[in-house]
Amino acid sequence: MGETKYGHLLEDHDWDDDEEDDVDEEPEPRAQLQHQTVKVLWRTDPRDLEYRALISHGSHDWEPICTHVDRAHRIEGSNQFDPMGSRSWTEIPRRVQERIVDVVAGVDAVEELDPEHEIGFSRDGGDGA
């Protein structure tokens, strides 16, 4: 063992191979995603627009949903954005909606993030009929 630079340290070490690995009796609690913020930069003329969507992964029966969208425009000659107010999910451009859907796990269609959209059932648990 002494063939390496620090091999002399290994020769004198008392290895305890019989000791079991430290195993926790209780598993670690799982992380839960409650909210997700997705920012999309939409390059437009004359100024770029930034959309920031808040996606709620809370305890909804129809989760996840988009609860809030902020819009801002880039200040000319700067990399800073000036807020332009809030928008509803249906008020933002379809291409921005599609980009948000691309990054939210478990969502396949734009309509799934719309809090006002019914997908074969009502939000109160009925059958939507």
Q: What is the pLDDT at residue 83?
A: 95
Query: Dihedral through CA 122, CA 127, CA 128, CA 129, nearest 10?
Result: -160
Q: Model pTM?
A: 0.65
Asked if the model's pLDDT at residue 46 lies above 90, the reply is no
Angle (CA) 42-48-95 rounded to 5° is 15
DSSP class of residue 14 equals -
pLDDT in tens, 60-76: 666 788 989 999 999 98
pLDDT in tens, 82-109: 999 999 999 999 999 999 999 998 888 9
DSSP class of residue 9 equals H
